[in-house]
């Protein structure tokens, strides 16, 4: 097999294209050819210096790929399977979780693999961590034992599928937390506020509508509000007369004003799920009387479980619109532009790269 190519991040906005030998696979490991790697906002924040990240490393954690090799199963590592059910074969088109859990620690055993005590993350590991090909901004990736992998149906294109592994899984996890806190199986008849209509917020919008919710969205971008509208959301103006009428608020903006809008929007028994604040945003004032008198719940979601990845793929496959919301991939060598230049089409939610671009 030929060598792989990866874009090693050297800090700030510096990248170096490396050729690396294909690693030999241990039992149960999976080697994929990366078909499309999306540019998640958190990678942009990393490159702009807004958040700490291991360096040097290969970034990129929102990808879709094709299995090119599977390590022969061994005594301690059975053949890898699709977390949605079934076997995995060479040639399968798949997406995989951001997180790689140990499966052994108390948190994994309790079903919270998202917060495994020995968690490793795709696109977040130092180059010398002992995990070769650990990021999506590469021609190939090695998926260690413990990575949740699921197949992508034919009707879901590569660009849309790439959304599943970070934004999709996380948005679905946030919706599950909201329904669980409300003691409900779905959101039928409930008012849902989505704060921030980037990829996460837009997928959450589609997911909440699919669960029967009445969804309102707030965002600073009219373009994004229009896109959310195509998935069934109406526009919400923070501070308007309709404030205080929501059963669920999903916060994806990661800003103090977004958290404030979400909390202020809740009515009796409401649930605020915070997702966007994955780096320090400062403190946000909470009105304890509002929380007490209105029986509010405030909670958060970080990472997700394998079932959320499967559900994200199902959700994205329901609507062909997702494919056009991820910009056609730039060549991998133009990663710098994909991360730092604005998208050519402001209607897209994501830029992307691919080692081999077609069309
Ligand atoms: Zn991400
Ligand atoms: Zn664990």
Residue 175 clears pLDDT 90, i.e. is over it: yes
CA of 313 to the centre of ligand 1 (A): 16
Q: Choose which CATH entry (3.40.50.360, 3.40.50.1820, 3.40.50.620, 3.90.180.10) describes domain 4-151+327-354.
A: 3.90.180.10
User: What does the pLDDT look like over 311-347, one tens digit per residue?
Assistant: 999 999 999 999 999 999 999 999 999 999 988 888 8
* Least confident span in 64-78, 158-172, 211-225, 294-308: 64-78
Domain spanning 170-300: CATH 3.10.110.10: no
For ligand 1, an ion, list residues with CB under 5 A: 40, 42, 166
For ligand 1, the distance from its centroid to the CA atom of residue 75, given in whole angstroms, is: 34
State the distance from the centre of ligand 1 to the C-alpha of 312, rounded, in angstroms.
14
**Per-residue pLDDT tens digits for 189-200:** 999 999 999 999
Given a cut of 50, whether residue 157 has pLDDT beyond it is: yes
CA of 109 to the centre of ligand 2 (A): 7
Distance between Cα 72 and ligand 2 center (Å): 24
Contact 194, 233 (CB under 8 A): yes
Q: pTM for this one?
A: 0.96
The 3-state secondary structure of 197-231 reads CCHHHHHHHHHHHHCCCEEEEECCCHHHHHHHHHC
| Ligand whose nearest atom lies closest to the CA of 120 | 2
Cα 240 to ligand 1 centroid, rounded to whole Å: 31
Domain with CATH 3.90.180.10 in the chain: 4-151+327-354
CB 91 within 8 A of CB 66: yes
Question: Nearest CA to 169 among 63, 28, 323, 50?
Answer: 63
Point out the ligand nearest to the CA of residue 103. 2
The boundaries of every CATH 3.40.50.720 domain in the chain are 170-300
Beta bridge partner(s), residue 298: 272
Ligand 2 center to 117 CA (angstroms): 5
- Helical spans, DSSP H, in the chain: 41-47, 106-109, 158-162, 167-182, 199-210, 222-230, 256-264, 288-293, 306-316, 321-324, 335-340
- Angle, vertex CA 216, rays to CA 197 and CA 250, nearest 5: 60
Q: What pLDDT is stored for residue 152 in this prediction? A: 98
Q: Does residue 308 surpass a pLDDT of 50?
A: yes
Centre of ligand 1 to C-alpha 195, Å, is 17
Do residues 249 and 271 touch, judged by C-beta distance below 8 A? yes
Which pLDDT belongs to residue 246? 97
Over residues 215-220, mean pLDDT: 96
Mean pLDDT of the chain: 95
Centre of ligand 1 to C-alpha 42, Å, is: 5
CA–centroid distance, 153 to ligand 1, in Å, is 22
Query: Which residues, other chains included, contact 159 with Cβ-Cβ below 8 Å and sequence gap of 6+?
Result: 36, 38, 322, 323, 324, 326, 327, 328, 329, 350, 352
User: Cβ contacts of residue 310 below 8 Å, gap of 6+?
Assistant: 83, 84, 150
Query: What pLDDT sits at residue 242?
Result: 65
Q: Which of 11-15, 47-51, 135-139, 319-323 has the lowest mean pLDDT?
A: 47-51
Q: Could you tell me the distance, in angstroms and rounded to a whole number, from the CA of residue 174 to the centre of ligand 2?
A: 21
- Centroid of chain to Cα 335: 19
Token pair 């509208």 in the structure block, residue: 229
Nearest ligand to residue 121 Cα: 1
Give the pLDDT band of residue 359 (cuts 50, 70, 90).
very low
Q: How far is the CA of 353 from the centre of ligand 1 (A)?
A: 15
Q: What would the mean pLDDT of 124-140 be, rounded to a whole number?
A: 96
CA of 72 to the centre of ligand 1 (A): 31
pLDDT tens readout for residues 276-300:
998 889 999 999 999 999 999 999 9
Task: List pLDDT tens digits, range 101-129.
Answer: 999 999 999 999 999 999 999 999 999 99
Direct distance between the N- and C-terminal alpha carbons of the chain, in angstroms, rounded to an integer: 25
Residue 272, SS3? strand
Q: How far is the CA of 286 from the centre of ligand 2 (A)?
A: 33
Ligand 2 center to 111 CA (angstroms): 9
Give dist(CA 81, CA 150) in Å, integer.
8
Distance 86 CA to ligand 1 centre (A): 27
pLDDT score, position 78: 84
pLDDT at 358: 56
Cα gap 199→172, rounded to integer Å: 12
Q: What is the pLDDT of residue 241?
A: 62
């Amino acid at each position: 097999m030929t060598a792989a190519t990866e874009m090693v991040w050297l800090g700030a906005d510096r990248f170096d294209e490396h050729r690396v030998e294909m690693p030999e696979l241990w039992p149960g490991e999976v080697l994929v050819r990366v078909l499309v790697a999306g540019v998640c906002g958190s990678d942009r924040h990393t490159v702009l210096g807004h958040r700490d990240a291991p360096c040097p490393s290969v970034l990129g954690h929102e990808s879709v790929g094709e299995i090119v090799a599977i390590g022969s199963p061994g005594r301690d590592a059975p053949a890898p399977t699709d977390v949605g059910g079934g076997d995995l074969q060479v040639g399968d088109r798949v997406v995989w979780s951001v997180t790689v859990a140990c499966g052994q620690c108390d948190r994994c055993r309790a079903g919270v693999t998202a917060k495994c005590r020995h968690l490793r993350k795709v696109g977040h590991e130092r180059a010398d961590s002992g995990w070769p090909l650990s990021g999506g901004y590469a021609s190939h990736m090695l998926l260690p034992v413990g990575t949740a992998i699921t197949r992508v149906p034919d009707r879901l294109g590569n660009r849309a599928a790439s959304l599943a592994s970070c934004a999709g899984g996380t948005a679905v996890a946030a919706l599950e937390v909201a329904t669980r806190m409300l003691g409900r199986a779905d959101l039928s008849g409930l008012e849902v506020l989505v704060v921030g209509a980037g990829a996460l917020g837009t997928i959450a919008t589609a997911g909440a509508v699919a669960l029967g919710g009445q969804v309102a969205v707030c965002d600073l971008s009219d373009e994004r509000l229009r896109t959310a509208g195509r998935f069934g959301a109406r526009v919400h103006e923070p501070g308007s007369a309709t404030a205080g009428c929501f059963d669920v608020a999903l916060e994806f903006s990661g800003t103090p004003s977004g958290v404030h809008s979400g909390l202020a929007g809740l009515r009796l028994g409401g649930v605020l799920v915070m997702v966007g604040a994955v780096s320090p945003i400062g403190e946000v004032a909470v009105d304890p009387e509002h929380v007490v008198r209105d029986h509010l719940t405030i909670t958060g979601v970080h990472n997700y479980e394998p079932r959320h990845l499967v559900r994200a793929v199902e959700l994205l496959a329901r609507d062909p619109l997702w494919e056009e919301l991820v910009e056609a991939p730039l060549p991998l060598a133009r990663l710098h532009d994909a991360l730092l230049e604005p998208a050519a089409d402001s209607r897209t939610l994501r830029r992307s790269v691919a080692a081999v671009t077609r069309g």
